[in-house]
Amino acid sequence: MAGALVDVKPTPILKEELDIVIPTIRNLDFLEMWRPFFEPYHLIIVQDGDPSRTIKVPDGFDYELYNRNDINRILGPKASCISFKDSACRCFGYLVSKKKYIFTIDDDCFVAKDPSGKEINALEQHIKNLLNPSTPLFFNTLYDPYREGADFVRGYPFSLREGVPTAVSHGLWLNIPDYDAPTQLAKPLERNTRFVDAVLTIPKGTLFPMCGMNLAFNRELIGPAMYFGLMGDGQPIGRYDDMWAGWCMKVICDHLGYGVKTGLPYIWHSKASNPFVNLKKEYNGIFWQEELIPFFQSAVLTKECTTVQQCYIELSKLVKAKLGKIDPYFLKLADAMVTWVEAWDELNGKVDVDQQ
Amino acid sequence: MAGALVDVKPTPILKEELDIVIPTIRNLDFLEMWRPFFEPYHLIIVQDGDPSRTIKVPDGFDYELYNRNDINRILGPKASCISFKDSACRCFGYLVSKKKYIFTIDDDCFVAKDPSGKEINALEQHIKNLLNPSTPLFFNTLYDPYREGADFVRGYPFSLREGVPTAVSHGLWLNIPDYDAPTQLAKPLERNTRFVDAVLTIPKGTLFPMCGMNLAFNRELIGPAMYFGLMGDGQPIGRYDDMWAGWCMKVICDHLGYGVKTGLPYIWHSKASNPFVNLKKEYNGIFWQEELIPFFQSAVLTKECTTVQQCYIELSKLVKAKLGKIDPYFLKLADAMVTWVEAWDELNGKVDVDQQ
């Protein structure tokens, strides 16, 4: 019932309502391949590393570009919450966007093909995922019930078939899979060739590893929770930026009743990062995540938290109280979480003024 | 790491350790198509309806067949827990099997083809699913990490990569999807044509609609929880047998730390049952499931329950205490759950003698 109605209509492209955020340190030649799909949209490019370098953007794209000097100028002392020399800097783009939706993609990701050989419009699939509801309260064995040719199966409670608003759409990667350094080292030749034609809702109460390579979200619903943490330059950890955001975001979505989808669309991830460099970045995270997962699995937000900002501040307090003992880094991170929300509210205006 | 090691070995066929259970009211011509895959195995045929009818089984298959007279003779007064004129009678086959694994399939299910046109050996895939661990504690975005070409992605805690034993493998259906009567009525022409090349673990704490059409399980791990309830003749409900078993089983697997997988393999489901007849059978269930789901979602078993039997008895008490007010049917069902476990122990010997 649901599927047919949704899919026979063309997917709205939301040209005026979506920004594409790209963190980079190099010329954006990769955009050439995306031109047919991305050209109608506005790009927010977050230049990492040396701000004196010039990043070339192919002609015809509409963009704004921020380097470290811009970030420092715009945020002042609050710029301390934005990572440097790590793709975590991308969340600055979420902060300065004025749009309802964000799609973020890495500059080593190209257009993938489906099994029929057709080029996949990743952004269109993300938009479909975000505009259709999620079903976190009960698992549907035919996956996304709102897709064409699918529905809720026998035994699915009718009261749950409206679903809940979708906050996040997590896309996947063909070719180079998103492995950690130990797995990269152990399986240097592994490539992901399996095209799984599914979109599904991550159930309520379940955590997952959110990868920032190919990710879209509803900024109005969940933006202030999409903070990518303190990583890279001056920090004892890297490559956990998207994971951190994913765990915080999922706890808050579960609390507020929003959905998170994973699966389609695929992009083509072109090159594996260096596993030795990655191991150095990930080293602490490999130990710490063993304590972070139980922490997030048991994190409970109080009923009084009714906005993303309130949830995020409460989570930062839990981080300080419960994770500080792992390493002083988490005390600093908890403070940065607060700074991030302050910066968000400063640039975006408070949405919960009546509750202050 | 995990995947390659598992998949390069041929899948053991477990000829001496697996029974195929088929509930039926007709000649089993459908077995001809399954001959290359099923012939090595022992079949347990549970004949529903008129016991004086003769069910023809194609030559060459090794089988035992039970009709209603056999069930009454073997179970005596306890036969009251086995449904009549409903495919729920299939669970009698689970009771009399002496094997470690069960595969159960409906007689209107045929061999499906994968997208390359190759015939799918559904049983082999179920065996793979059951012999590989499950990952209910954290979601892996590349689905089953133990499959060839897949692994755990970045951010997956290393301490959880061993997984847990798999108790149940839930397979899917191409062609006629497993819809309820209202959906069948609304979408009479819908066919499932989407082959989703994935196996995944249903996360801990998440319920799903388990369909009995194409299902395998580890009888040693979870057998006593696979009771298909009181349905059909003399009962106010039908077509909720597998759902009931699935909800009970999932709560118990979550409690005992076992995994439940869904996805591959597909079978070809040939014909839709009559939606008007189905509506009559499902009618009460459509209302009741709205209260059953919250009941199972919040059901907590005590630490003292360390065997499936203990869990199941405790669950029957919760059913009596909390669902009896919906309809007296649930009081009768709770009693039948106890009778089922008594019958199981009588035929299979108590596994938890030291705890009695």
> ipTM score of the complex?
0.94
Looking at residue A32, its pLDDT comes to: 97
- Chain A, nearest residue to B261 by Cα: A141
Helices B308-323 and B275-298 pack at an angle, to 10 degrees, of: 100
Q: Which residues of B touch A190 (CB under 8 A)?
A: 149, 151
Kindly tell me if the per-residue pLDDT of A209 is higher than 80: yes
Residue in chain A lying closest to B262 (CA): A141
Alpha-carbon gap: B139 to the closest alpha carbon of chain A (Å) = 5
CB of A260 within 8 Å of a chain B CB? The answer is: no
Which residues have C-beta within 8 Å of that of residue B76, sequence separation ≥ 6?
none
**CA A32: distance to chain centroid?**
23
Interface test with A, best of B7, B106, B141, B281 (most A CBs within 10 A): B141
Q: Do A289 and B203 touch (CB under 8 A)?
A: no
In the predicted model, what is the mean pLDDT of residues A237-261?
Answer: 98
Please judge whether B141 and A262 are an interchain contact, meaning their C-beta atoms are less than 8 angstroms apart. Answer: yes
Asked if pLDDT for residue A355 goes beyond 60, the answer is: no
CA distance linking residue B272 with residue B252, whole number of Å = 32
Shortest CA gap A159–chain B (Å): 7
Longest dimension (CA), chain B: 60
- Round to whole Å and give the CA distance between B232 and B238: 5
SS (H, E, C) A225-266: HCCCCCCECCCCCCCCHHHHHHHHHHHHHHHHCCEEEEEEEE
Q: For helices B241-256 and B308-323, give the axis angle rounded to 10 degrees.
A: 120
Nearest CA in chain A to B207: A138
Q: What is the mean pLDDT of chain A?
A: 95
Check CB contact under 8 Å for B179 and A153: yes
Chain B environment of A143 (Cβ under 8 Å): 196
Interface test with A, best of B134, B144, B154 (most A CBs within 10 A): B154
Among the partner residues A149, A151, A160, nearest to B183 by beta-carbon distance? A151
Q: Report the 3 state secondary structure along A127-155.
A: HHHHHCCECCCCCCCCCCCCCCCCCCCCC
Q: What is the pLDDT of residue A3?
A: 44
CB-CB under 8 Å, A203 with B152: no
Q: How many CB pairs under 8 A join A and B?
A: 182
Q: Is A76 exposed, middle or buried (0-12, 13-18, 19+ CB in 10 A)?
A: exposed
Query: A residues 73-112 near B, CB within 8 Å?
Result: none
pLDDT of residue A351: 54
pLDDT for B353 equals: 45
Is A203 part of the contact surface with chain B (CB cutoff 8 Å)? yes
Q: Which of residues 135-164 of A touch B (CB under 8 A)?
A: 138-143, 147, 149-160
Contact B251, B299 (CB under 8 A): yes
Query: Structure tokens of A215?
Result: 């990710």
Spell out which residues of chain B touch residue A115, defining contact as CB-CB under 8 Å: 115
**CA of A141 to nearest chain B CA: how many angstroms apart?**
7
Nearest to A248 by CA among A218, A221, A228, A220: A228
Per DSSP, helices labelled H in chain B are: 2-7, 31-38, 68-75, 91-96, 122-131, 181-186, 219-222, 241-256, 275-298, 308-323, 329-348
* Partners of residue B262 in chain A, C-beta under 8 Å: 139, 141
| pLDDT the model gives residue A4 | 45
Chain B residue at shortest CA distance from A188: B1
Cβ B329 vs Cβ B310: under 8 Å? no
Contacting residues of B for A196, CB less than 8 Å apart: 143, 196-198
A266: closest CA of chain B, how far (Å): 11
Tell me the nearest-neighbour CA distance from B160 into chain A, angstroms.
Answer: 9
Handedness of CA A128, A132, A138, A140 (dihedral sign): negative
For residue A208, give the nearest of B141, B172, B190 by CB distance.
B141
Chain A residues with CB inside 8 Å of B159's CB? Answer: 290
Are B21 and B103 within 8 A, CB to CB? yes
Cβ B183 vs Cβ B138: under 8 Å? no
Distance from CA of A307 to the nearest CA of B (A): 26
pLDDT at B10: 72
Chain A residues lying within 8 Å of B186, measured CB to CB: 1
Do B170 and A198 lie within an 8 Å CB cutoff?
A: no
**CA–CA separation, A302 vs A281, rounded Å?**
34
pLDDT digits (tens, 9 = 90+) for A291-338: 999 999 999 999 999 999 999 999 999 999 999 999 999 999 999 999
Q: Which residues of A touch B182 (CB under 8 A)?
A: 158
Are the beta carbons of B143 and A206 separated by less than 8 Å?
no
B117 touches chain A (CB under 8 A): no
In this structure, how many other beta carbons lie within 10 angstroms of the beta carbon of residue A266? 25
Q: What integer pLDDT is reported at residue A339 of this predicted model? A: 98
CA distance B117 to A197: 17
What CA–CA distance (Å, rounded) separates B176 from A261? 26
Q: Residue A211 and residue B172: Cβ atoms within 8 Å?
A: no
Dist. CA A158–CA A152, nearest whole Å:
9
What's the gap in Å between the CA of B274 and the closest CA on chain A?
14
Q: What is the DSSP letter of B324?
A: T
State how far residue B166 is from chain A, nearest Cα, in angstroms: 18
Calpha distance B265→B321 (Å, rounded)? 38
Measured distance CA(B64)–CA(A316) in Å, rounded: 63
Best residue of A140, A154, A196 to probe chain B, by most B CBs closer than 10 Å: A154
Q: Do residues A1 and B187 lie in contact, with contact meaning Cβ atoms separated by under 8 Å?
A: yes
A293–B138: do the CB atoms touch at under 8 Å? yes
Q: Is residue A239 within 8 Å of A278, Cβ to Cβ?
A: yes
User: Measured between CA atoms, how close is B88 to chain A, in angstroms?
Assistant: 15
So what's the pLDDT on residue B354? 44
Q: What is the CA A232 to chain-centroid distance, rounded?
A: 18
The pLDDT assigned to B349 comes to 84
Residue B332: closest CA among B234, B254, B266: B234
For range A347-354, the mean pLDDT: 67
User: Encoding tokens for residue A73?
Assistant: 């100028």
From first to last of the 356 residues of chain B, give the pLDDT tens digit: 444 444 556 777 899 999 999 999 999 999 999 999 999 999 999 999 999 999 999 999 999 999 999 999 999 999 999 999 999 999 999 999 999 999 999 999 999 999 999 999 999 999 999 999 999 999 999 999 999 999 999 999 999 999 999 999 999 999 999 999 999 999 999 999 999 999 999 999 999 999 999 999 999 999 999 999 999 999 999 999 999 999 999 999 999 999 999 999 999 999 878 999 999 999 999 999 999 999 999 999 999 999 999 999 999 999 999 999 999 999 999 999 999 999 999 999 865 444 43
Output the pLDDT for position A9: 62
pLDDT in tens, A66-96: 999 999 999 999 999 999 999 999 999 999 9
Tell me what pLDDT residue A318 has.
98
* A191 contacts in chain B (CB < 8 Å): 149
Distance from CA of B206 to the nearest CA of A (A): 6
Span A215-233, average pLDDT: 98
